Structure 1
């Protein structure tokens, strides 16, 4: 699965990234996430490359607990995270690029469903895409 969504948000990239890259806001704009916690800080402390965020979410009516490790962190343009614990391998990339009308916000999710989620395989990509579109809509609503 490789799913992408994008949306132009009428806010400058630094403001979009400051909000979206702050794990404390994950539950406010990311579909299904009920909580997020910084469970491993960077070597120097805080959030950045090497930090890990534990998220609790619900997808297909099932609770999912997973840990994302920050692979790249280049505010205000890029946050790239890979799952290190969870029900299936996942790679999530957020990009926030300059656009004449504000910010071109993009989310890309890559991964392979396993176990219970493999049964939903044909429906998984369209459902993830719909959720990503809602995420970007809710991100815009939170900022405007």
Structure 2
């Protein structure tokens, strides 16, 4: 079963500020549901983080530990970060986009994947959980970046 879920939220800050934080893998565990650790395990061809870089994440989903590696396919800050899984329990494609909006930045996360094996049975539950998690991710991103009133 294919999963294709998207969430979006307007964050009252400029895209450059939102993207700088959200595209930095060192912050993944601070605002992304379930991620416990993230590590840059391969640098981009030119060094650092960019196209070709790989980030290894450890997450917990439906009570199960999941280790997966995302490779940066496209890195165009502050507008787009596109990553594909190269190791993990299922093929996955994660896209972050940040576009100017009258209220600040329209932040959008899209996750596509193919739930096979163990996850095939849980695919309908996974789709709902992914949708819910993405919404929480964007809420947490906003809370991290904006001061409390």
Q: Give the alignment's TM-score, normalised by structure 1.
A: 0.99
Root-mean-square deviation (Å):
0.5
In structure 1, distance between residues paired with 2:127 and 2:4: 8
Give the secondary structure class of the aligned counterpart of 1:73: strand
1:111 to 90, 110, 113: 113
Which structure 2 segments of 5+ residues have no match? none
Deviation at 1:43, TM superposition (A): 1.2
> Residue 80 of structure 1 corresponds to which residue in structure 2?
82
In structure 2, distance between residues paired with 1:40 and 1:114: 27
Deviation at 1:46, TM superposition (A): 0.1
Which structure 1 segments of 5+ residues have no match? none
Q: Give the alignment's TM-score, normalised by structure 2.
A: 0.95
What does the per-residue CA deviation read over 1:105-141, in whole Å, with 9 as the maximum and x for residues that have no partner? 0000000112221111121111100000000000000
Structure 1 position 19 matched with structure 2 position 21 = yes
Q: Post-superposition, which runs of at least 4 consecutive aligned residues in structure 1 deviate over 2 A?
A: none
> Residue 124 of structure 2 corresponds to which residue in structure 1?
122
In structure 1, distance between residues paired with 2:124 and 2:70: 25
